[in-house]
Amino acid sequence: MRALHPKQTELLEILKSNISDPLTMEELADRLNVSGKSVVFHHIKQLEKKGFLKRNPANPRDYIILKDPERNVIYLKMYGMAKCGPEGTILDGEPTRIVPVDPSMIYFPACKGFMVEAKGDSMENLIAPHDWLIVEQNHQPKNKDVVVCVNNGEVMVKRFTQDGENVILQSENPRYNPIVADKTAFRVEGIVRSIIKRNVSC
């Protein structure tokens, strides 16, 4: 692991403590007590280069912390499964929380990771309501992959099957019939890679 400049260590702590409400470059410069935004930008670029941080190039205030030197965790954003518009994606919405996750649970680049909280019983026996799903942003699932997807604006977790030109979305619960995805209004958000079981009734 490449050593961090003291200001980079301080900056990482500030970013961690404000991850749910990111600060502007001006606010970061003020917190770090440095001369201006260019100094902050330099240290952010160094954190990226050293593998501690991944920023969204379209939104500098949107970032994922990939390494936490003190706790050895990564931080994934959790999104709700609210209905999306025709061109919407759940990743356009505000995350509902930030979850620290053991890196050993991530078998793909952490910058592609996000989480959702399952709802409903359609995936019963595999996924229960309120389970936390670790998802890899990936729009090309294989047959039988469990995916987070949007069909006609509805966000759902289903087992993906390509049948000729049709995509079939299958539930694990036999009480639910398979769904033929709408070719004009269907999108895979990602592939479920890990399930964190949660018994919220206890």
Residues 68-123: tens digit of each pLDDT: 766 677 888 888 877 666 566 777 777 888 888 887 778 888 778 899 998 889 99
* Predicted TM-score (pTM) of this structure: 0.69
Place of tokens 């999306």: 84
Residue type, 179: I
Under-50 pLDDT residues of the chain:
1, 202
Residue 171 falls in the annotated catalytic set: no
Q: Which among 158, 194, 197, 201 is annotated as catalytic?
A: 158
In whole angstroms, what is the distance from residue 18 CA to residue 119 CA? 28
CB 39 within 8 A of CB 29: yes
Residue 122 falls in the annotated catalytic set: yes
Q: Which among 112, 122, 144, 183 is annotated as catalytic?
A: 122
Residue type, 173: N
Q: Is 114 exposed, middle or buried (0-12, 13-18, 19+ CB in 10 A)?
A: buried
Please give the radius of gyration of the chain, using alpha carbons only, rounded to the nearest integer.
Answer: 19
